[in-house]
Amino acid sequence: MDFDLTMVNWARAQFAFTAMYHWIFVPLTLGLSFLCAFFETIYVRTGNKEWRAITKFWMTLFGINFAIGVATGIILEFQFGTNWSNYSWIVGDIFGAPLAIEGLFAFFLEATFFAVMFFGWNRVSKKFHLFSTWMVAIGSNLSAVWILVANGWMQNPVGMTFNPETARFEMQNFFEVVFNPVAVSKFVHTSSSGFLFASLFVLSISCWFLIKGRHLKMAKRSIIVASVFGLLSSSFVAFSGDESAYVVAQKQPMKLAAIEGLYKGETTAGLVAAGILRGDKQPGDGQDPFLIKIKIPFMLSLLANRSFSSFVPGIDDLVYGNEEQGIESTASKMAKGKTAINDLAEFKIARKENNNPKADLALARFKKNQDYMGYGYLDKPEEAVPPVAIPYYAFHIMVALGTLFPVLFAAFLFYALKDSLTRESLKKWLLPIGLISGFLGLVAQESGWVVAEVGRQPWSIYGLLPVKASTTNLAASNVQITFFMFFVVFTLLLTAEIAIMLKQISIGPEEGPLK
Amino acid sequence: MISTLDYAILQQLWWIIIAIVGALFLFLTLVQGGQTLLWQVAKTDLEKTLVITSLGRKWKMPFTTLVLFGGALFAAFPKFYATSFGGAYWVWMLILFSFIIQAVSYEYRKKPNNFLGSTVYELFLFINGSIGILLIGVAIATFYTGSNFTLDLYNRVTWNYTLLGINLRGLEAAFSLFNLSLGIFLVFNARVLGAQYLLNSIDLSSTPKLESKLRKHTWNSFLIALPFLIYMVICILFMKGFNVDDAGIVSLVSSKYLSNLLAMPHLLILLLAGIILVLYGVLLSKFKGSHKGIWFSGLGTVFVGLVVLCLPAFNNTAFYPSKLDLQSSLTIYNASSSHYTLAIMTYVAIGIPFVLGYVVYVWKLMDSKKLTKEEVINEESY
């Protein structure tokens, strides 16, 4: 089959661009919705108007962020149809269900109670308003559950079978799809990292107020709530990050090898804590992939297999095979895959011609190799390797930042509980770090997304359907035009969002109750 | 129990669910209709704020319903999702852009330092309410008039309609008078609903001019929508339709949709009831000084929407016909998900009444008091 690679790459770029833009706003929605619910809960329990002013301030920022999150999100669902119609048909039987459930149960919860959250202060009772704020938070996170069930299935396709009659994958077990270990670990990791990011966002803005000497009471109270939430979230992020890495090692060994820059598999493999990759490194060339590196002995084996002495396959093992470890080469899988594609074609033609004996024979041959069909679309074994440097650096940036954040939260909590956040000396080091921590959180968020999705390449459905076989039969020029339309519109909206957000921050909370 | 239901029944059930979601979306386009009225009915800042705030409390409803409509189609009829969205690329892309720019406009329009200025956000709302709804109508109309695609053995879509050497990817649907008529009808019907909704939700005692304009536009928009509706109904009654025989062969049959209406008299009753309800609602708003016209016209719109979406799908009809290759046409039977997936989704759909229940409850709770001038001045407003 011939593929229009120009179209494939533009469609890929468009998805990456729109998803990364969307991902600027989503984690903040996930976490800030809960922080608003915490602030409002304190207000309702204490009846203290100061907490109401604090709630309303953060809610205003939540609303500004939420609107652009919604705007950038709608295209992601429909883009599967417009740019990836072959994908939509081949896996729609499984992939569509979580998206529909997300729409029904999560989006309506958000949409319905959002109006109460913003306009219901004097229209409904205090308790119903609080209930609505919680419903928005739950709805936002419920949305994450279903979208990550869908994404988890792309990373680890389970609970389905290929139906040659319809030429698509069909669901066999819904619960396997929902409780897919990749989906579960992804949800915990993604939502808790969203909580963490939102805590950093609150910390950042509060630090700005402290540095400027404005709205001190709100800033200090916000920091206490955000630090506690951030610390708790950090522990979930660390736990689920470890679990995610383990699941990746089991289900997507190529992705793990890429994010660790591991070309030659090792027993008692060490974890690269930091290192610079050699720019000209290619699979199978025998070069050391690193110019310099710092390794923690045994840790990669422990992370990947929960055993210090286990074997972790490298890129070369997965591409060229490793008989000793029982790893089949990609070339061998490709040969089986091409046979499967030919047998499927023969089956489909025979069926169309009502030649059932011939169809049955072709089907029997197809079934022997059907699991390898995706590999049949690859042109060379090395195509199975993702662009190593991108997930490698993204992973290490994410982990480094993820290690810094709990320390930061602990420091802020310590000074907040001592009521010494306004101390002059802190303006020289802790508050400036806190100020930029929101941006660092965003970098960690985007890095995590890059690890997950670039590390999945070249597959749209891991091991089964390559990205290049997933696209719509569409001239590249269409996607190029829409790419630039998205670029212009999203950038305009982001600029507006930042301008509005900064202005609202500088206006600050309602002063009266906080004096 | 659901999993033992016949495959065909599940397929039919799911088309009905999708038709209900689609019909509710058409009712909720009251938001889009209101958006196109903004510059005509609201002349002062206060009037604008009242209109925008009232609509702003509901803007997520049609948006979310549209997303659900897409998601449900993806889950239940993935071949349609792949064929239509991938094929009629530009129609869907332009619809989506109109909803993207809508989503920020309420929140950002009045915020200080909003970069683009409030007029641009109002323009975004107008584009969403006019071009967005027009194109949705055009896309729905292709259920009757067909599209220019073929499917291969693997169900991969090829779209083929060129003008001056350019493949229009669905935009050619706007060249059909029938398709455009449905689009224009939906735009003006949405304006009817928008005006009626605003009459119902705002306390207009302090803005009498706004009230008289809303009543005037209810009537005027209805008068503009009516000829397009009549033209469409006449066309539907006499146009050729895409019949599917017992062997699954698709062919063009004269007066197919008329015979569908006669074969499914409940749809005929729904259509007549829908038109009468819309008319009654409009008359209430125009001549009786009533604020309740929206409920009659809204219910009528839902009924008409149900008919528009069900008529080309049942009684052995291809709901997404191909003009290029009749045998590539999609029916609810060849475009659906597997039996297993439809059964699972049907279990999920048991939750729909619960969702509808809390949506209606919160709507009533929030709208139990009309939006007042004092509220938008002293409290939150868009």
Q: Does A475 touch chain B (CB under 8 A)?
A: yes
Report the percent of chain B where pLDDT is more than 70: 100
Please judge whether B84 and A81 are an interchain contact, meaning their C-beta atoms are less than 8 angstroms apart. Answer: yes
* Mean pLDDT across B299-326: 97
What's the confidence (pLDDT) of residue A514? 65
Please judge whether B116 and A496 are an interchain contact, meaning their C-beta atoms are less than 8 angstroms apart. Answer: yes
Burial of A380 (0-12, 13-18, 19+ CB in 10 A): exposed
C-alpha span between B168 and B50 (Å, rounded): 41
Give me A266's structure tokens: 């090792």
C-alpha span between A507 and A514 (Å, rounded): 14
Report the percent of chain B where pLDDT is more than 90: 95
Q: Does B118 touch chain A (CB under 8 A)?
A: no
What's the confidence (pLDDT) of residue A1? 62
Domain-wise residue ranges, chain B? 2-378
Q: Does B377 touch chain A (CB under 8 A)?
A: no
Out of B68, B156, B344, the one facing A174 most closely (by C-beta) is: B344
Please judge whether B75 and A502 are an interchain contact, meaning their C-beta atoms are less than 8 angstroms apart. Answer: no
The H or E element spanning position B93 is helix B89-109
List of chain A residues with pLDDT < 70: 1-2, 514-515
**Confidence class for position B381, pLDDT limits 50, 70, 90:** confident
What's the confidence (pLDDT) of residue A308? 94
**Confidence class for position B2, pLDDT limits 50, 70, 90:** confident
Out of B70, B115, B363, the one facing A78 most closely (by C-beta) is: B70
Q: Best mutation site among A108, A131, A351, A503 for testing chain B: the one with the most B CBs within 10 Å?
A: A108
Q: Does A484 touch chain B (CB under 8 A)?
A: no
Those residues whose C-beta lies under 8 Å from the C-beta of residue B141, and which sit 6 or more positions away, are B173, B176, B178, B179, B181, B182, B183
- Taking only residues 135 to 154 of chain B, the set having a beta carbon closer than 8 angstroms to any beta carbon of chain A reads 153-154
C-alpha span between A426 and A509 (Å, rounded): 24
Beta bridge partners of B157: B151
Domain-wise residue ranges, chain A? 5-257+388-514, 266-312
The pLDDT tens digits for A313-350 are: 999 999 999 999 999 999 999 999 999 999 999 999 99
**Confidence class for position B1, pLDDT limits 50, 70, 90:** confident
Q: Does B337 touch chain A (CB under 8 A)?
A: yes
Out of B90, B115, B338, the one facing A170 most closely (by C-beta) is: B338
**pTM of the shown model:** 0.95
The pLDDT tens digits for B6-47 are: 999 999 999 999 999 999 999 999 999 999 999 999 999 999
CB-based contact A10:A479 (threshold 8 Å): yes
C-alpha span between A127 and A112 (Å, rounded): 16
Give the Cβ contact number of residue B265 at 10 Å. Answer: 9
- DSSP-assigned letter for residue A448: H
Q: Does B70 touch chain A (CB under 8 A)?
A: yes
pLDDT of residue B195 exceeding 90, the answer is yes
CB-based contact A497:A65 (threshold 8 Å): yes
What's the confidence (pLDDT) of residue A382? 97
The pLDDT tens digits for B43-72 are: 999 999 999 999 999 999 999 999 999 999
What's the confidence (pLDDT) of residue A515? 64
Please judge whether A70 and B60 are an interchain contact, meaning their C-beta atoms are less than 8 angstroms apart. Answer: yes
Least Cα separation, residue A490 to chain B (angstroms)? 9
